[in-house]
Chain A
Amino acid sequence: MDSVAHRLSAVGAGAALELRGVTRLFGALAALTDVTITVRPGERRAVLGSNGAGKTTLFNCITGDFPPTSGTIRFFGEDITRFPPYERIRRGLRRTYQISALFPGLTVQDNVYLACRGVSRGRFSFLRPGQNDALMHAADNLVQAVHLSAVKDQRVAELAHGQQRQLEIALALAGAPRFVLFDEPAAGLSPAERLELIEILTSLPSHIGYIIIEHDMDVALRVVESVTMMHNGRIFKEGVPQEIQSDPEVQELYLGGGHE
């Protein structure tokens, strides 16, 4: 998985994530057009934009859920444009989904255990994990980190919405993430749960960078240091939060429509 060449190329390149001219077509519709973004390791960035701006498509291209039609994507220097999703994940990329994508038939613990197993060896193991299984402990710790210990033996189908959102985050933090894509993690959360989410995001180790799609400016601007504004599948503006917030064009486009 971590070949020498891969490590060397990672040392050589400065960027955690580098997109060059990424375009994604759905038939005649261009969901993304010529998107070029560079994100440093450890950088935390928000992607803002109205519905249909191409934010989630951007995530899908980066994780390989839908590969880009053209352009290249580099992850810590390595060209991952044509990699299947699981190869990208094994290299330290993670994502969450806007609509929780969990395993409703399994327990919370099993969900997190699967996430830990997915990025380590023994995915095909026929042996049950024993009492001192390292991944089982890792799963326990993660469950605790997202405050779900009390419900860890419950099936996910029975969890409340907020708990499912927390589990969604836990799945993305399994193993050794180097960069995480959060797709509207605060969607449908109560104000108290939003504070908890902010706490989880800000307490992530500083080497873990992320991109967050978030409509709630209060959440987004408290957890990022840079902002990319998208419009109609293109990059519209990039800058620090204060700049973007006070930019008249941005306000007209995004904040203007009676939002906040």
Chain B
Amino acid sequence: MSVTHDARVQLRAATTAQGQAARIWPEINHPAAWIVAVILVIMPLIANGFFLIEIFATTMILGTIALSLMFLAGYGGMVSLMQLTIAGFCAYMVAVFGVSANTNISLGWPWWLAVPMALALATLFGTLGGTLAVRTEGIYTIMITLAIGAAFYYFTNQNWAIFGGHTGINTVATPHFWGVNWRSDIPFYYIVLGTAALCYFAVAYISRAPFGLALQGVRDNPRRMAALGFNVNAHRIAAYAVASFIAGLAGVLQVWNYRQISPGSVSVGACIDILIIAVVGGITRPIGPYIGALIFVLLRTFALDFLVKIGLDGNRFRLIIGLGFLAIVFWSSDGVIGLWQRWRQGKRPTTTRPGGGHGHG
């Protein structure tokens, strides 16, 4: 442990001396990160279809939605409860523009046209929502975005012409090309892994780029940012656009995963699940949401069996999640990664600070 630690300090000193060379690419300098990356890539060799899709792909999809919240909340200080709504909107748009069993609704575009269209509309939707939300701060941002989420949920329930009412849109077509069914377990796992990795590294990279740094400046002190020449609201709205695009990507994967989309997927409860995932995992680093999503998915999948086994009602799995949420918020304001960091900190000499703080990738 101490050997790697010393090596890192030297590396850091060296790169500082030659002028910030290490800042250009996100650094994967921790052996654990490489091990996780390798395991994720060879996962189809180890895991069966159930684990591959129901656990890992689902984790990465939810994690990516929560990542878009982490980007807004962790770097921008804006807690948006509408990230799932944006993902859901994008999922609906894929179904509306693409092919589904609801032929009276779906326009039947090929996926490579429907997906960019859905992403563009979802980004627009999130940016407009953000434009409303940035006029407020703190709890009012939460209220406005929650209101947008709730309004969208009730709208989808009642609108039959586009959203298919409370039954939603079913049997949504998934991509088939080059002779591959991309929704079969292994190809779909890799699509999800690739998208999640792309979003993760994009967020890590942007956090050290001028846009991301300025966003963190807006989080720390918006008034001073204006006094440095930044148009604070424009920056916040741009952050919503980026987050909406990320949430939209996850929404595309979500509709391909379940092959259907209905109001149940965009309920207020589901919006709050995303907040729980992000907070449990930790919102100071992009890895947090994925850890939170894994915990959430594991609990959701197995707590039921566990509860039944010890003689309780299986539907109480939310109780476990809730208690876990309380415990984590109580002991660590920075989620699981905060706990982990402090545990490592305790094992090390106190000369280093927690990995450069915010946005260290």
Chain B contacts for A113, CB-based, 8 A: 213
A123 in contact with B230 (CB, 8 Å): yes
A86 in contact with B230 (CB, 8 Å): yes
User: Contacts A63-B227, A104-B220, A174-B228; is A123 near B214 (CB within 8 Å)?
Assistant: yes
Chain B contacts for A175, CB-based, 8 A: 229
B16 in contact with A118 (CB, 8 Å): no
Contact of B228 among A64, A89, A131, A132 (CB under 8 A): A89
A29-B223 Cα distance, complex, nearest whole Å? 23
Contact of A119 among B16, B213, B219, B229 (CB under 8 A): B229
Q: Is residue A196 within 8 Å, beta carbon to beta carbon, of the partner chain?
A: no
A118 in contact with B230 (CB, 8 Å): yes
Chain A contacts for B358, CB-based, 8 A: 105-106
Interface of B is mostly: helix
Contact with B along A127-138 (1 / 0, CB 8 A): 111111100100
Contact of B206 among A126, A136, A158 (CB under 8 A): A126
Q: Is residue B20 within 8 Å, beta carbon to beta carbon, of the partner chain?
A: yes
Residue of A nearest to B284 (CB): A105
A101 in contact with B231 (CB, 8 Å): no
A123 in contact with B216 (CB, 8 Å): no
For the complex formed, measure the closest distance between the CB of A84 and the CB atoms of chain B, giving whole angstroms: 7
For the complex formed, measure the closest distance between the CB of A95 and the CB atoms of chain B, giving whole angstroms: 6
For the complex formed, measure the closest distance between the CB of A110 and the CB atoms of chain B, giving whole angstroms: 6
Contact with A along B223-237 (1 / 0, CB 8 A): 111111111100100
Contact of B217 among A103, A119, A132, A133 (CB under 8 A): A103
- In this complex, how many residues of chain B approach chain A with their Cβ under 8 Å: the count is 37
Q: Is residue B179 within 8 Å, beta carbon to beta carbon, of the partner chain?
A: no
B19 in contact with A131 (CB, 8 Å): yes
Chain B contacts for A94, CB-based, 8 A: 227
For the complex formed, measure the closest distance between the CB of B97 and the CB atoms of chain A, giving whole angstroms: 28
Q: Is residue A125 within 8 Å, beta carbon to beta carbon, of the partner chain?
A: yes
A113-B226 Cα distance, complex, nearest whole Å? 15
A122 in contact with B24 (CB, 8 Å): no
Residue of B nearest to A116 (CB): B228
Residue of B nearest to A90 (CB): B229
Q: Is residue B221 within 8 Å, beta carbon to beta carbon, of the partner chain?
A: yes
A84 in contact with B226 (CB, 8 Å): yes
Centre residue among B230, B231, B235, B238 by max chain A CB count within 10 A = B230
A244-B205 Cα distance, complex, nearest whole Å? 55
A131 in contact with B21 (CB, 8 Å): yes
Centre residue among B21, B209, B220 by max chain A CB count within 10 A = B220
Q: Is residue B285 within 8 Å, beta carbon to beta carbon, of the partner chain?
A: no
A89 in contact with B210 (CB, 8 Å): no
Q: Is residue A148 within 8 Å, beta carbon to beta carbon, of the partner chain?
A: no
User: Contacts A106-B220, A129-B20; is A101 near B209 (CB within 8 Å)?
Assistant: no
Q: Is residue A55 within 8 Å, beta carbon to beta carbon, of the partner chain?
A: no
Centre residue among B20, B206, B208, B211 by max chain A CB count within 10 A = B20
In the A-B complex, list the 10 residue pairs whose CB atoms are closest, starting with the nearest: A118-B229, A118-B228, A103-B220, A101-B224, A89-B229, A85-B226, A125-B210, A119-B229, A128-B209, A90-B229
Instruction: Point out residues on A near B: beta carbons under 8 Å.
Output: 63-65, 84-86, 89-90, 94-95, 97, 101-107, 110-111, 113-115, 117-119, 122-133, 136, 153, 155, 158, 171, 174-175
| Chain A to chain B contacts (Cβ below 8 Å), 14 pairs | A86-B230, A86-B231, A90-B229, A101-B227, A103-B220, A114-B214, A114-B217, A122-B210, A123-B214, A124-B214, A125-B209, A126-B211, A128-B209, A174-B228
Beyond contacts A105-B220, A131-B21: 17 other A-B pairs, Cβ-Cβ < 8 A, are A86-B232, A101-B223, A101-B224, A102-B220, A103-B220, A106-B220, A114-B228, A118-B225, A123-B211, A123-B230, A125-B211, A128-B24, A128-B25, A129-B20, A129-B209, A153-B16, A155-B357
Instruction: Point out residues on B near A: beta carbons under 8 Å.
Output: 16, 18-21, 23-25, 205-206, 208-211, 213-214, 216-217, 219-221, 223-232, 235, 238, 353, 356-358
